[in-house]
Amino acid sequence: MAVAAAGSSRHNGWVTRDHVIVLPGGGYSRISDNEKQPIVDWLTSLGLSASAFAYPVKTRHPAVVDAVRGEIRRQRDAGAERIALLGFSAGGHAAGHATLAPGASAQERVDLAILCYPVVSMMLPTHEESRFNLVGPEATPAERAAASVDLLVTPDAPPFFIWHTAEDEPVPVQHSYLLGMALAAAGVRHALHVFPRGRHGLNLARAEGDGDAVRWTELCESWLREEGWLRPTTRA
């Protein structure tokens, strides 16, 4: 019997060499536990190879981008052919930043990004904790702009899937709108879903009161299939 190689996953007889690196949130001061293993388990249930990465916190830019890109290189060395980043909140910022910041080598290239209620802009007053931890309270406008994901979008960016809730107070939905507008202006393929209800930090959105946000995994699965990351469904 054939065995899936390192950096790959076998699901119902189908082997993929695509790998998803999960970046939990935590305001760049901690790593959120509830955005690690539950997300990896969901991705592997779809047939993807996945792992959570504890990027450095309480450290200044560019330490996080450098660490994430180092993990991308490690997964490629393990056999992954395509790499996706999936991040939540500050981890969403880390995912978008590592995807779009200039200077990535061919081995550090990101093929697809999934951002969940992400911190996007360092120009906005929120999310203050993420901004202070990443670029410092005395960061200049130029330093804040250089760490703003929406300002780094170029036409050659990979596809993005983004979701947020309109009720999110710590990281307002404006962050995702800014990124969506930048991707649209650059002609980058993307999906942007905003759900009317739900607090910040919903994870898989399976708790009572999470509302329609529970659909984000279904929508993301469909998008991943459209992008060729999942085995096509068999039509009768």
CATH number of the domain at 206, please: 3.40.50.1820
Once rounded to an integer, what is the mean pLDDT over residues 166-187?
Answer: 97
In this prediction, residue 5 carries a pLDDT of 40
pLDDT at 7: 57
**What's the whole-number mean pLDDT along residues 177-203?**
95
As given in the structure block, the two tokens for residue 45 are 């249930």
Asked if residue 95 belongs to a domain, the reply is: yes
**136 domain residue, yes or no:** yes
Rg (CA), the chain: 17
49 phi/psi in degrees, rounded to 5: -80, 135
pTM surpassing 0.75? yes
pLDDT in tens, 87-110: 999 999 999 999 999 999 999 999
Distance CA 98, CA 192 (A): 19
Q: What is the pLDDT of residue 6?
A: 47
Residue 50 belongs to some domain of the structure: yes
Q: Please compute, for residue 120, the number of CA atoms within 13 A of its CA located in the half-sphere on the CB side.
A: 24
Domain that holds residue 103: 13-226
**Do the domain assignments include residue 7?**
no
> Is residue 3 situated within a structural domain?
no
Overall average pLDDT of the 149-159 stretch: 98
Instruction: Kindly state the percentage of the chain with pLDDT values over 90.
Output: 85
Quote the CA–CA distance of 143 and 209 in Å, as a whole number: 38
Is 184 within a domain? yes
Question: What is the total count of domains within the chain?
Answer: 1
Q: What is the mean pLDDT of residues 179-195?
A: 98
- pLDDT at residue number 204: 87
Distance between CA 183 and CA 116 in Å, rounded?
16
Q: Which two tokens stand for residue 42?
A: 């969901």
Q: Quickly state the pLDDT bin for 9 (edges 50, 70, 90).
A: low
